[in-house]
């Protein structure tokens, strides 16, 4: 009773001791709950730190993937730019007068492919070295993140293990060479054949124009004008065209057949004396001979560009008459005069008094087989004068015919040389196109498989140090000292594409940075090789329709390509090759780390979730360097990161002699 009376009065109510005791107990409970709440809150923080550490580790992997994709974009776009430049060089090789530009384009294309080969090999080696550093970088990033989250006397030690533990990337396709060997030889042969074809065409065009003028343009006269004046020809039988491109050698052939036929029929003596009669008979004989000769003329063009052309040379003097049938044909009448056969122009010749003696040729007169008539004086000279007068005089029909004949021979030779050269052009173009196709197909191999350590995800283990006392404000007055117990947490993060990002932005910024470091603005080089490379580089992350368009735009820059030419054929085929190449755009969306279940990462790595988690937590030391902690967790980390700056590769700037080292600063990311 006396004990109770300490707390309760006899007359009722609580004593001062009871009130004080109740207050003390209440305050102890309040502060005890506060300590409990603080302990629970601080204990949960270790999971947040583990999550942050996992994200920090995965962020390293994301940065590497971006670097690898940018380098792959450089390799592929340099190859495409090189092939587009080579294609333009091939097309230009088939363009007359573009040989210098063609040589430069082919050389530039070969330099691009050579630069791509060197860059790809060094880049694949550099990426492999960087992948070896990823485990250490992940461990260092995770450890730094864990340490940075310590506060209010609470310390954290953490590390992350990337899975897979070792690289499973495959850069073999990146190292594949693009073999365009022989394309320069094909381009050289194409250029040489193009030059021969162009020179032959110019000669042919010149000869064609001179022949056209002799046929259709009065200077002072022409074949058409003389046919009109001498034979009364007009209309459709005596056509005239205004341009040499609308004219061919078939026109003077047909015109002359009509002309000599008309002159043969129309021929009549200018007078009744024997001299006039003889001259007329000689002209008639000449027209008959000329008609026979022109009837054998021909002109045709073959599908391959060769020309079949024959216009006969007509005898233009006595010596040339001796080489024709006019000289040898026994078509002239003879009479016996004093028992000697004498040749006459006609039996109506006053000197033809004797008996008819058959026919003979003017060759027989010169050989002495028959006599020469002193009245009509018919001999080879009469026939020679007919041809000579009409050929020498600028108003003679044969004068212009002779010009056309001479030009036709030169034209035929030039056209056939042109056709031969164009055949060589086609052969060289087909060979160059075949080499081009094989080289371009080598670019369409599957893109490199990028699977560095951490590609499946990063598992982070974080431990909280033991012995952290509760805040003195909570324990000094009412409680004995309280310590936060040791704790641990595990988390995992993996990379996921960010749909809101545009991979082209990464490549655009990279290209701008490269050209800025090179000391020039791309704006001043648009239309050049560097601009072409830039377009193809940026198109890597979106649609290769853009790369196709860039290649076609490069081909369109080649001037002087006309339809139906070898250059036109080559341009179309090369453009089609780019169109059907079928290169797929890469996924260049930014990769951001996101938290995932540890079972997802460990399961893909082939570990049983519960057992591996327990093993990781137990293996996690309370301190040490990131390398030591990573090794304790079973992750081998490379130590050959040098001084912290790793040169991935030397990037040659297309179209220039410049190259820029692509470096990654890993020093600040490694905690030693």
376-380 average pLDDT score: 95
Q: Give 71-122 pLDDT, tens digit per residue.
A: 888 888 788 888 888 888 888 888 887 778 888 888 888 888 888 888 888 8
**Cα 162 to Cα 47, 68, 617, distances in angstroms:** 18, 17, 15
Judge whether 353 lies within some domain: no
Judge whether 436 lies within some domain: no
Model confidence at 632, in pLDDT bands (50, 70, 90)?
low
Averaging pLDDT over each range in 126-135, 408-417, 628-637, which range is the top one?
A: 408-417
Percent of residues, the chain, with pLDDT higher than 90? 33
Q: Give 283-317 pLDDT, tens digit per residue.
A: 999 999 999 999 999 999 998 889 999 999 999 99
Judge whether 347 lies within some domain: no
Q: Give 464-516 pLDDT, tens digit per residue.
A: 766 555 554 444 454 455 455 567 788 899 998 877 666 566 777 777 666 66
Residues 418 and 477 in one domain: no
Residues 454 and 402 in one domain: no
Range of the domain at 294: 192-330+360-424
Judge whether 344 lies within some domain: no
Residues 157 and 63 in one domain: yes
Cβ-based neighbours of 649, under 8 Å, separated by 6 or more: 71, 119, 122, 123, 125, 126, 661, 662
Instruction: Say yes or no to pLDDT of 351 above 60.
Output: yes
CA distance 125 to 662: 13
Residues 20 and 167 in one domain: yes
Token code pair at residue 404: 């056309």
Q: How much is the pLDDT for 171?
A: 81
Judge whether 320 lies within some domain: yes
Residues 460 and 399 in one domain: no
Total domains present in the chain: 2
Cβ-based neighbours of 153, under 8 Å, separated by 6 or more: 468, 469
Judge whether 565 lies within some domain: yes
Cβ-based neighbours of 433, under 8 Å, separated by 6 or more: 90, 570, 573, 574, 577
Cβ count near 537 (within 10 Å)? 26
Judge whether 438 lies within some domain: no
CA distance 203 to 184: 29
Q: Give 157-173 pLDDT, tens digit per residue.
A: 888 888 888 888 888 77
Last residue of a domain, one of 397, 424, 451: 424
Residues 545 and 663 in one domain: yes
Residues 314 and 249 in one domain: yes
Q: Give 262-276 pLDDT, tens digit per residue.
A: 999 999 999 999 999
**Cα 346 to Cα 114, 275, 278, 378, 414, distances in angstroms:** 88, 11, 8, 9, 47
Residues 420 and 456 in one domain: no
CA distance 341 to 527: 89
Residues 40 and 95 in one domain: yes
Residues 549 and 652 in one domain: yes
Counted residue by residue, the chain has a size of: 672
For the chain, the average pLDDT equals 79
Judge whether 515 lies within some domain: yes
Residues 143 and 231 in one domain: no
Residues 408 and 456 in one domain: no
């Amino acid at each position: 009773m006396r004990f109770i009376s300490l707390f309760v009065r006899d007359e009722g109510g609580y004593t001062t001791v009871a009130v004080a005791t109740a207050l003390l107990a209440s305050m102890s409970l309040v502060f005890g709950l506060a300590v409990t709440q603080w302990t629970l809150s601080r204990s949960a923080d270790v999971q947040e730190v583990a999550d942050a550490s996992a994200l920090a580790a995965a962020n390293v992997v994301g940065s590497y993937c971006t670097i690898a994709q940018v380098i792959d974009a450089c390799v592929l776009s340099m190859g495409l730019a090189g092939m587009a430049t080579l294609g333009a060089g091939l097309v230009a090789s088939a363009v007359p007068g573009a040989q210098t530009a063609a040589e430069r384009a082919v050389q530039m294309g070969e330099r691009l492919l050579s630069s791509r080969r060197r860059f790809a090999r060094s880049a694949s080696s550099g990426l492999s070295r960087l992948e070896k550093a990823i485990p250490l970088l992940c461990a260092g990033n995770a450890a730094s993140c864990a340490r940075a989250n310590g506060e209010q006397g609470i310390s954290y030690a953490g590390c992350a293990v990337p899975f897979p533990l070792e690289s499973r990337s495959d850069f073999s396709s990146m190292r594949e060479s693009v073999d365009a060997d022989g394309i320069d030889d094909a381009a050289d042969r194409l250029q040489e054949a193009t030059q021969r074809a162009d020179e032959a065409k110019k000669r042919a065009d010149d000869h064609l124009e001179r022949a056209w003028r002799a046929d259709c343009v009065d200077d002072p006269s022409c074949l058409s004008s003389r046919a009109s004046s001498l034979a009364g020809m007009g209309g459709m039988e005596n056509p005239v065209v205004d341009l040499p491109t609308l004219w061919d050698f078939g026109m003077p052939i047909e015109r002359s057949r009509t002309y000599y036929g008309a002159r043969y029929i129309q021929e009549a003596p200018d007078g009744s004396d024997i001299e006039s009669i003889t001259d007329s008979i000689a002209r008639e004989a000449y027209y008959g001979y000329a008609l026979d000769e022109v009837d054998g003329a021909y002109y045709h063009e073959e599908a391959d560009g060769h020309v079949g052309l024959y216009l006969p040379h007509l005898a233009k003097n006595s010596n040339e008459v001796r080489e024709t049938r006019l000289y040898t044909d026994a078509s002239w009448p003879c009479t016996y005069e004093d028992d000697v056969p004498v040749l006459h122009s006609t039996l109506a010749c006053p000197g033809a008094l004797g008996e008819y003696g058959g026919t003979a040729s003017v060759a027989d007169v010169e050989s002495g087989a028959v006599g020469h008539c002193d009245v009509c004086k018919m001999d080879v000279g009469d026939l020679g004068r007919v041809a000579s007068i009409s050929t020498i005089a600028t108003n003679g029909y044969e004068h212009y015919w002779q010009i056309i004949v001479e030009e036709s021979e030169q034209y035929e030779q030039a056209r056939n040389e042109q056709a031969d050269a164009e055949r060589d052009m086609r052969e060289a173009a087909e060979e160059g196109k075949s080499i081009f196709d094989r080289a371009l197909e080598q670019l369409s191999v599957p893109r490199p498989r990028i699977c560095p350590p951490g590609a499946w995800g990063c598992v982070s283990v974080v431990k909280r140090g033991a012995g952290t006392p509760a805040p003195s404000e909570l324990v000094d007055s009412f409680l004995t000292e309280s310590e936060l117990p040791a704790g641990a947490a595990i988390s995992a993060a993996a990379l996921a594409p960010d749909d809101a990002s545009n991979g082209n932005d990464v490549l655009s910024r990279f290209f701008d940075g490269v050209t800025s470091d090179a000391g020039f603005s791309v704006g001043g080089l648009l239309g050049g090789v560097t601009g072409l490379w830039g377009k193809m580089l940026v198109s890597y992350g979106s649609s290769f329709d853009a790369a196709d368009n860039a290649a076609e735009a490069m081909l369109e820059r080649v001037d002087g390509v006309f339809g139906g030419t070898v250059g036109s054929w080559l341009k179309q085929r090369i453009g089609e090759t780019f169109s059907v190449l079928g290169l797929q755009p890469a996924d260049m969306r930014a990769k951001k780390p996101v938290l995932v279940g540890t079972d997802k990462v460990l399961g893909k790595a082939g570990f049983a979730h519960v057992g591996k988690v327990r093993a990781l937590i137990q293996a996690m030391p309370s301190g040490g360097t990131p390398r030591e902690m990573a090794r304790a967790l079973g992750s081998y980390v490379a130590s050959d990161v040098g001084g912290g700056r790793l040169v991935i590769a030397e990037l040659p700037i297309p179209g220039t002699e410049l190259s820029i080292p692509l470096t990654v600063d890993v020093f600040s990311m490694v905690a030693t």
